[in-house]
Structure 1
Amino acid sequence: MPSSKTRATSPGFPANQAVSRVITGIKQMIVSGELLPGQQIRQEQMAAALGVSRLPVREALRQLAADGLVVHEHHVGFAVARLGRAEFDQVYLMRRLLETEVIRSLPRPSAAQLAEIRAVAEEIERAAEDLDLALMRTLNSQFHLAIFGLSDLNLVVGEIARIWTWALPYHAVYLHDEAGRKRILAEHREMVTALGEGDLDRLVELMDAHRAGSEAQLNLMLQAGAAARPPLG
């Protein structure tokens, strides 16, 4: 019979599954806006909400802290990470540099790959029609990472995904404005077209404009000193 230590570290052990479930649940709460930047995450409440003990919650929070999505303060506890202007500037600098390199490395997608990416873009449009902003945010990340994932630069794509994670709590800002949503949807359609045509220069231009639009909205939020969810436009 294996020792308790062996069972606890086994890949299929339920404790590991519980940690993964908690990580997914907390990320979804952050993406949906249920947890806001700077908001404290109380382990007891989180354990009750997700139907687990405090142990997997504590381990999940440690992993999320290592990813930069939450922070830990001594004698205070864990809270959703809050980024300042300097951090945002660096996030967008790294995104521009890395995303541009990845896009320029993209092969021509197969018909099936392009159809899958187009399908995600269409799901985003349906979510926009329903004003399901949480779903829009989730699908938006999926759309972009699906494009980047066509590249063979796996390590760079992984770093892009990590950088995106840092800004997850703020991704909703530019979705609350109707004009902003329409711009995003139109740019997604153009990206799919450029990708299908193998026009990587055009795709870089579109991604630069797309990124600049969200960065401008975030800058407005930072200038106003607002980290909370804005009202629907």
Structure 2
Amino acid sequence: MPPRKSSAAEVSAPAHQAVARSVNDIKQMITSGDLLPGQQIRQEHIAAVLGVSRLPVREALRQLVADGLVVHRHNVGFAVARLSRSEFDQIYLMRRLLETEVIRSLPRPSARQLADIATLAEEVERAAADVDLPRMRALNSQFHLAVFDLSDLKLVVGEIRRIWTWALPYHSVYLYDEAGRTRILAEHREMVAALRAGDVERLVELMDAHRAGSADRLNLMLEAGAVTHPHAD
């Protein structure tokens, strides 16, 4: 009698935890620039770096394929997903359409919600002052998603989160530009002020400019083929 395959529910808790940790660690390696768009992912190397076996690494990579951060090619293996110019443009088109609808649906935030968002903006500024770019990238995402999460359009916000994930590997690249960081921080402060005033149309305008500035910078890098490791010069 052939051995029975274990169901997902029968997999041990430590195994689940190893996969979850591997997902988070590999995602961090991608978004921080340790693994670059288009780079092949060697399972043996990743397992050694993370101190786990290949099994949780392989399962983590499969999950990241579903998230859009990793691709799998037959007879080649796993690699970090790389956006084409067309795909990149489509991501920003979807962001503009969905984020605009979500922002226009925002209720007036409570004092607690506004304080939490303002605190995130301040933490982004502290990370920028320390030139802690991985932390700045993570906090920048948290700031924007905290604003979107004020909306009752939860399905739409979930889709925005998924779209943001596709572009995460590129976010750490444009943060290396000091002028870009300065612009981002100034626009965050204006967004908090617009939220405080309950001016959603002003917030739409600010988000359009904020998004366009990031898209322009990333477009220049895509055209120049400059999406490389920041320390590789």
Task: Output the TM-score relative to the length of structure 2.
Answer: 0.94
Quote the offset at 1:5 in angstroms: 2.3
Are residues 1:57 and 2:31 paired? no
SS of corresponding position for 2:107: coil
Say whether residues 1:100 and 2:87 are aligned partners. Answer: no
* Matched AA of 1:149: D
Please tell me the residue identity of whatever aligns with 1:57. Answer: V
Report what 2:203 is aligned to.
Answer: 203
CA distance in 2, matches of 1:231, 1:53: 29
Structure-1 separation of matches of 2:23 and 2:231: 28
Aligned in 2, Cα 1:59/1:231: closer, same or farther, shift over 3 Å?
Answer: closer
How far is the alpha carbon of 1:138 from its aligned partner?
0.7
Aligned to 1:5: 6
How many angstroms does 1:226 deviate by? 2.0
Q: How many residues align?
A: 229
For 2:138, the equivalent position in structure 1 comes to 138
Match of 2:78? 78
Say what the alpha-carbon RMSD is for the aligned residues. 1.7
Q: Which amino acid aligns with 1:43?
A: Q
Distance apart, 1:37 and its partner CA = 0.6
In structure 1, list runs of 5 or more residues that go unmatched: none
Please report how far the alpha carbon of residue 172 of structure 1 lies from its aligned counterpart in structure 2 after TM superposition.
Answer: 2.0
Q: 1:198 to 1:12 in 2, by over 3 A?
A: farther
Equivalent residue of 2:228, what SS?
coil
Please report how far the alpha carbon of residue 106 of structure 1 lies from its aligned counterpart in structure 2 after TM superposition: 0.8
* Pairs within 5 Å for 1:41-190: 41-190=41-190
Q: 1:23 matched to which residue of 2?
A: 23
Q: Which TM-score applies when normalising by structure 1?
A: 0.94
Q: Give identity over the alignment, percent.
A: 75
| CA–CA separation in structure 2 for the residues paired with 1:11 and 1:139 | 33
The Cα of 1:123 is off from its aligned counterpart by: 0.7
> How far apart, CA to CA, are the structure 1 residues paired with 2:64 and 2:210?
27
Asked if structure 2 preserves the Cα contact closer than 8 Å seen for 1:176 and 1:231, the reply is no
Q: 1:10 deviation in Å?
A: 4.8
